[in-house]
Structure 1
Amino acid sequence: MTNSQSFATRLFGLTILISTLSGFISATPATTDKKIIYYHSTINNTDTPVSLLPLINGTSDQVVTNIIIGQMHLNTTGLSLNDDLISSPKFDRLWPEVAQLQQKNIKVSAMLLDKYNVLKGNQTVFDEHYAFLHDALKAHNFDGFDIDDEDPTALPIQGIERLIDRLRQDFGPDFLISMSPVASALAGGSNLSGFNYTTLEQQRGKDIAWYNAQFYGGWGDASTPDGYDAIVNNGFSPDRVVMGLLTNPSNAGSGFVDLNTTKATLQTLTSKYPQFAGVAGWEYFNSLPGGTQAPWQWSEFFAQALGVNTGSQSSKRSTRAVAFKA
């Protein structure tokens, strides 16, 4: 064998090895990119602040990827969080916790539930009311903004696109803009918003990070994979659609599905769609199975259902506390 033949043989063998390894790597589905999201709306439970810090106490099994703070409401005089101005002292303990979660790479978004209609009108009107939202997002260093428009008369698609464009302009390419439509809206069915999500995805999909589809309240059913399949069949990629769930039957009306049934649905979806985006729970403070005493258990339960490694649990149990002590 000549030197040139020997080199060619070695090169051919190396090419085969690289090709084989590449095929093996690409065939192994990633699980770490799945989102596990909590909505955090009950900031104070019977006047006692609800702490988010248990989610990062003992980082060996940290599984939560995102927190969405809501419900925020935009008015002609300012921005409120639940029933109080966002500047209220009631939230003084919330913002330092948000910063601590962000230090652990948990992304924190603000969620605006209603009053999108105040953004309707000419540019001057829009700018005046958008300023309340902009200033709050800046002041509290939010990583993103979740659009939950449940009023079909509030904004047409052009108004939503103006809001998305302005957020992108003001906060840059890494700012997370998500949306929380009812599940049926993504499947081409009943819709609480005043625009078509398929059209919006075509026109602004590049600026929308993902959709938190509400599979509850009569707008979706998490007990089977059928509703999620309908969304995929309507043209939405599974890596862009998070399954939104109730974490407790007392939250947000009807549609709670027991944990084991939901787990089976998620396992089916994860097997069928390796890029399945994950889950979002409404809401944190009383999430089952732990309830108000251990709401973090919901995220750990569904991390296991999604195949996300949770690590050792035992070191964390004795150190967590849900509420601040006065």
Structure 2
Amino acid sequence: MLPAVANRVVVYYQTHYFRDGTFVSPLPLIGYVTHLILAAFHLNMFHIGPDIVHLNDFMPSDPYFYPLWPEINMVQGNGTKVLGMLGGAAPGTYECLVDSLFDIYYPPLAEVIRTYNLDGMDLDVEQALSPQTIQRIIRTLKADFGDDFIITLAPVASALTRQGNLSGFDYIDLEHEMGDYIDWYNVQFYSGFGSFFPEDQYIDIIEYDQGIDASRVTATVLTNPDNGGGYIDISAVLHSIRNLMEEFGTGWGGVGGWEYFNSLPVVDEPWAWAETVHDVMHEQKRVMEARGDPKGAVERKRVASRFFKY
């Protein structure tokens, strides 16, 4: 029998209310999502005290989020890890974490992580940043929150073959120097920086320059054409999932979706995207077992990190 399906199903959760004001509950994702990424946390330069850290437009303690935190606790209680996403398309956050400002702006971020019991942070760097700064952020998070604290990064796909890159530092160099501290990469396969269908670009990343093991590359795709450029239909996503399981077995990095609230294919049931992806991974495992396929979890190209986890 093949090893259990270890592919991640990751969903980004940024829009917390529908247009009619109804709260977008994450609870229907339980059982289908391995990791929920709460977006987007920002650091605000020149703000003071608790106002330094915002979740989208509000402090995390704002009444706007009163429905959110109890349900986040329920999601975690049912086995899903919840990470915060730091940064993204809005510039400025990482400028607050350079050496001269680190001791001012990092402690409030750490306090938010503790207060809301986040399981990790997804570092989405979409502005120029030095290798030294990102390394300090990663090392400090691991030192403060321990080996079980999950640290992921969110490069555009082309950055992992040293092409188009939004972050300023070289991810392959970072992987070679800091791979033991980075749990995996939520790689953006959209917006002109990559496509998950066909799956050739994903394979190119794995084969590039002894770069990054397949178990540590999660392919993030758009869940709705309204969410950006480069949307591919879920049928294409499922096609690539099946092919990558044939190539790598049950332990490659899986798939993530940006974002939750309007995910297709079922209007008004956004959790159906994660349910469909989850079910196809398990179905493909059964297909491979039925024909006696011996392929299990992906063979790693290097010794697994002491921090590695699915």
Equivalent residue letter for 2:122: D
1:201 aligns with 2:179: no
1:263 aligns with 2:241: no
1:29 Cα deviation after fit: 3.5
Aligned residue for 2:187, secondary structure, equals strand
Instruction: Measure, in 1, the Cα distance between the counterparts of 2:3 and 2:11.
Output: 22
Aligned residue for 1:137, secondary structure, equals helix
Select which of 36, 52, 56 maps to 1:67: 36
Instruction: Measure, in 1, the Cα distance between the counterparts of 2:114 and 2:197.
Output: 39
Decide whether the 8 Å contact of 1:263 with 1:302 is kept in 2: yes
Equivalent residue letter for 2:9: I
1:309 Cα deviation after fit: 8.9
1:217 aligns with 2:191: yes
- Aligned residue runs from structure 1 range 150-165, under 5 A: 150-152=126-128, 155-165=129-139
> What residue number does 1:323 align with?
none
Decide whether the 8 Å contact of 1:151 with 1:192 is kept in 2: yes
Select which of 282, 286, 291 maps to 2:262: 286
Instruction: Measure, in 1, the Cα distance between the counterparts of 2:43 and 2:205.
Output: 30
Equivalent residue letter for 1:219: F
Paired residues, what number? Answer: 272
Equivalent residue letter for 1:33: A
How big is each residue's C-alpha offset from its partner over 1:84-142, in whole Å with a ceiling of 9 and x where there is no partner? 222211011111111101111100000012421111133xx201100121111011000
Decide whether the 8 Å contact of 2:86 with 2:124 is kept in 1: yes
Scaled by the length of structure 1, the TM-score of the pair is 0.81
- Aligned residue runs from structure 1 range 90-129, under 5 A: 90-113=64-87, 114=91, 115-122=93-100, 125-129=101-105
Aligned residue for 1:191, secondary structure, equals coil
Aligned residue for 2:40, secondary structure, equals strand
- Aligned residue runs from structure 1 range 40-59, under 5 A: 40-46=13-19, 47-56=21-30
Unaligned runs of 5+ in 2: 286-310
Q: Indicate the structure (1 or 2) with the bigger Cα radius of gyration.
A: 1
> What residue number does 1:298 align with?
273
Instruction: Measure, in 1, the Cα distance between the counterparts of 2:193 and 2:62.
Output: 34
Decide whether the 8 Å contact of 1:31 with 1:308 is kept in 2: no
Equivalent residue letter for 1:272: E
> Are the structure 2 counterparts of residues 39 and 308 from structure 1 closer, same or farther at C-alpha, using a change threshold of 3 Å?
farther
> What residue number does 1:242 align with?
218
Instruction: Measure, in 2, the Cα distance between the counterparts of 1:52 and 1:309.
Output: 26
Equivalent residue letter for 1:228: Y
> What residue number does 1:38 align with?
11
Aligned residue for 2:282, secondary structure, equals coil
Decide whether the 8 Å contact of 2:242 with 2:284 is kept in 1: no
Instruction: Measure, in 2, the Cα distance between the counterparts of 1:187 and 1:302.
Output: 26
Query: Percent of pairs identical after alignment?
Result: 40
Equivalent residue letter for 2:198: T
> What residue number does 2:122 align with?
146
Instruction: Measure, in 1, the Cα distance between the counterparts of 2:3 and 2:254.
Output: 12
Aligned residue for 2:226, secondary structure, equals coil
Instruction: Measure, in 1, the Cα distance between the counterparts of 2:109 and 2:284.
Output: 37
> Are the structure 2 counterparts of residues 184 and 66 from structure 1 closer, same or farther at C-alpha, using a change threshold of 3 Å?
same
1:217 Cα deviation after fit: 0.5
> What residue number does 1:188 align with?
162
1:167 aligns with 2:141: yes
